[in-house]
Chain A
Amino acid sequence: MSGLAPTTLPGRPASLRRRAAALLHRRPLVRLGLLLSAPMLWLVVAYLGALFAMLLTAFWSTDTFTGEVDRTFTWQNFQDLWTGEVYRTIALRSVAVAAGVTVLCLAIAFPMAFYMAKVARPRWRPYLLIAVLTPLWAAYLVKVYAWRVILADDGLLNWALGPLGARGPGYGLTATVLVLTYLWLPYMILPIYTGLERLPDSLLDASGDLGAGTLRTLRRVVAPMVFPSIAAGSLFTFSLSLGDYITVKIVGGRGQLIGNVVYDNIGAANDLPFAAAVATVPVVVMLVYIAAVRRTGALEEL
């Protein structure tokens, strides 16, 4: 661009525009305020406001006869939640499923990411990464549906296991864990791959030259350096599993997770206050989890 005179810029700036520009240029605080205004209105007023309102609803109750919400403060929902044997079982089961899925994802993702980032020929690495990430774009429901077909009585799995005299798990809790692991696996591979790729090969060589064996290098050099990446990946696998109720509905048989309790209380039972109280369980679990993970610096890895 040779003629960067003001005339090359479109039109003569209106004086209002020029005044606004001058104000923005001179006052960074005004700039910051304008930048933050709309997003904060959305995220704080609308989103946090909605979350807070939901929390408030949890302390109300539903009239069993009229189905109307009674807006008087009560601890009843939380008492029911705490004393109800069923709810405790389901809450613990949900956390166990989320933790199990996270561990399984890590066990599958780490060797794959390690091969992709450090062992495979550099020329192949981008293609391997694409191969792992492409299924992320395929629809969630389609993937769960695929497993419903595979796990069916006359499905692929039973057909493949038949000659070995074994049978697949059918629909149930095992199927739920398996499908959730399948769904969230790429979310674990990607951050670990990125973390490993950033880890200089020279560190691994140095560790080897100094006499450390493979396992020791993995434990003392690789693990501490990719730990934030693992934590970042686990945030996805854990959170996404904890709130899931769709997968459970499709392949979970009669099993229930906490999401199903919330869903059923809104839909069939029409008891929003109790549903809100149940929904605070995953929120509290996640907030604790985020707080723990934040110390590792994992949030910068997202």
Chain B
Amino acid sequence: MTLSRGARLALRAFTALGLAFVYVPLFLVVLNSFNADRSFGWPPSGLTTAWWAHALDNEGARQAVLTSLKAGAGATAVALVLGTMVAFAVQRFRFFGRDTVSLLVVLPIALPGIVTGIALGNAFQVVLKPLGIGLGLFTVIVGHATFCIVTIYNNVLARLRRMGTAVEEASADLGADPFQTFRYVTFPLLRPALLAGGLLAFALSFDEIIVTTFTAGPGVTTLPIWIFTNLFRPNQAPVVNVVAAVLIVLSVVPVWLAQRLSGEATAH
């Protein structure tokens, strides 16, 4: 198939437009965090850094970031363990119901968030309340981990498939027991996949709002919840803008990390 010059140019222009569509809103948010006008109309009447100074002392926003970091770390840790276990079971064994298991891992992310949210929220109320455990950070972590398992699972599964079993068999033949083989052979080979999957899981959790709404107790405010509750308050708009701008700028970090990781993975 040979594309005409016109078709190539048209495709290029289309892609450029598509990228503009993707980036213009993001740039606008960053620019607006310096907008002197409180109503953030366009074009800005002047530029100021006052909102940034203002946002840095905002106690609510700081607490929310901390809560989100805790929830993300907890959910990622749980998902790393569970996701790796399922990936091993599905990749290394043939058993009845194997397809169902892989479907089950995808289900929490394939079903709409609100379904997972109210189902888990309801179950926590019914099961945990009699045990004296109310909704809180713990229940948020459980909820997030449920839909984070799939990212680890996918990464580890792909890695295991490419790895084969030869090195592990060699390790066993040389006298290592299963624990030693895992620690000295399998785990180091899996590390890039675990890091990539963990990064994705953390990002998913950090960004999640729907499941969080139904599983967080009244005292637990993650960053997305904080943004959402302050979105409709005009006097908080400048601070929301700065927080949004920071999140956009920070989103480059995981991309950079992922890039380095994949470089490392191909170098091995």
Interface residues of A (CB under 8 A from B): 4, 6, 9, 13, 17-18, 20-22, 24-25, 28, 31-32, 35-36, 38-40, 42-44, 46-51, 53-54, 57, 108, 111-112, 114-116, 119-120, 128, 130-135, 137-143, 145-150, 152, 154-156, 159, 182, 185-186, 204-205, 207-208, 212, 214, 217-218, 221, 235, 239-240, 242-246, 250, 259, 262-263, 266, 272, 275-276, 279, 282-283, 286, 290, 299, 302
Contacts and interface: CB of A to CB of B under 8 A. Distances in A.
B1 A138 contact: no
A197 to B, nearest CB: 15
Given A9-B180, A137-B251, A142-B247, A112 B15 contact: yes
Interface string B162-191: 000000000010111111100000000000
B119 A39 contact: no
Interface string B192-225: 0000000000010011011000100000000110
Given A134-B251, A138-B251, A146-B25, A208 B122 contact: no
Nearest to A149: B40
Nearest to B94: A32
A215 to B, nearest CB: 10
Contacts of A38: 81-82, 85
Of residues B29, B103, B149, which shows the largest number of chain A Cβ atoms within 10 Å of its Cβ?
Answer: B29
A140 B25 contact: no
30 contacts: A9-B176, A21-B177, A25-B172, A25-B178, A46-B120, A47-B107, A47-B116, A47-B120, A50-B120, A50-B122, A108-B21, A112-B18, A119-B8, A138-B248, A138-B251, A141-B207, A141-B228, A142-B244, A146-B244, A149-B29, A182-B22, A182-B25, A207-B1, A214-B2, A246-B209, A250-B231, A262-B114, A275-B118, A276-B118, A283-B115
Nearest to A147: B25
Q: Which of A4, A47, A205, A279 has the most CB of B within 10 A?
A: A47
Contacts of B119: 47, 50-51, 53-54, 279
Given A156-B42, A286-B110, A279 B18 contact: no
Interface residues of B, number: 89
A116 B19 CA distance: 12
A18 B54 CA distance: 60
A268 B43 CA distance: 38
B11 A36 contact: no
Interface string B103-116: 11111101111111
Contacts of B111: 239, 243, 282-283, 286
Interface string B50-88: 000000000000000000000000000000011101101
A212 B1 CA distance: 7
A6 to B, nearest CB: 7
Nearest to B112: A243
A302 B120 CA distance: 24
Contacts of B19: 131-132
A57 B121 CA distance: 13
A44 B104 contact: yes
Contacts of A204: 1
Contacts of A217: 1
Contact of B93 (A24, A28, A40, A133): A28
Given A21-B177, A38-B82, A146-B28, 14 more contacts: A43-B108, A47-B116, A47-B119, A132-B22, A141-B227, A141-B231, A142-B244, A149-B40, A204-B1, A205-B1, A214-B2, A246-B228, A259-B112, A266-B214
B142 to A, nearest CB: 7
B14 A39 contact: no
Contacts of B89: 32, 35-36, 39
B179 A21 contact: yes
A250 B240 CA distance: 14
B252 interface: yes
Contacts of B214: 266
Given A43-B146, A155-B42, A246-B209, A36 B118 contact: no
Contacts of B244: 139, 141-142, 145-146
B149 A43 contact: yes
Interface string B89-108: 10001010000011111111
A107 to B, nearest CB: 10
Contacts of A147: 25
